[in-house]
Amino acid sequence: MLEPDAVVVPAGDALLGEPLRTEHVNVFAISRHPVSVSEYAVFLDDTKHAPPVNWATQRRRPDGAVEGITWADAVTYCRWLTLRLGRTYRLPDEREWEKAARAGVLAALDARREWTNTWAPSGRVLRGGPDLATRAYASDDPRGVGFRVVHSMTGR
């Protein structure tokens, strides 16, 4: 398995949120593309983890982003990837996701929502869609939800 195609986002202040505010974000490397169906298939074959909803349909587009992923599925994938490649992978926190999106380094931004590792009073935070500052929250329906991975570069 190849390392995810990632871009390093340098540490620094970023304008985030709505209304915009300045926050410091540490250096990190985030995958340019969401985890693909073919990447997720390797994980499923290796771990025998339960496939997401509509898996048979998704398998027809191996280069497309995997969808129908729960937060627990995404975290399990990150743990598997960490063990498989020997580098620490995790979900981005929402500040990292937004900084990368505003910097224009994230490919395939569309209506799909993506998991972050951020928890808010309303639940797990999802990011994505046309407005980079808009938050969504987890529901019981993971349709249209995918994820990207972050390679830790600061020891966490």
Given a cut of 90, whether residue 156 has pLDDT beyond it is no
Considering the domain boundaries, does residue 53 fall inside one? yes
Q: What is residue 82's DSSP assignment?
A: H
Q: What is the pLDDT of residues 50-98, one digit of tens each?
A: 999 899 999 999 999 999 999 999 999 999 999 999 999 999 999 999 9
Given a cut of 90, whether residue 17 has pLDDT beyond it is no
Q: How many CA atoms lie within 13 A of 29 on its CB side?
A: 14
Distances (CA, A) of 21 to 6, 38, 95, 130: 26, 38, 11, 19
Considering the domain boundaries, does residue 1 fall inside one? no
Considering the domain boundaries, does residue 134 fall inside one? yes
* Total residues belonging to the chain: 156
5 vs 134: which has the higher pLDDT: 5
Considering the domain boundaries, does residue 138 fall inside one? yes
pLDDT computed for residue 108 by the predictor:
85
Domain span including residue 124 = 6-152
E strands, 1-92, where?
Answer: 6-9, 12-16, 21-25, 28-31, 89-90
Considering the domain boundaries, does residue 90 fall inside one? yes
pLDDT computed for residue 134 by the predictor:
82
Considering the domain boundaries, does residue 44 fall inside one? yes
Neighbours of 36 (CB within 10 A): 20
Number of domains in the chain: 1
Give pTM, 2 decimals.
Answer: 0.94
For the domain that residue 29 is a member of, what is the CATH number?
3.90.1580.10
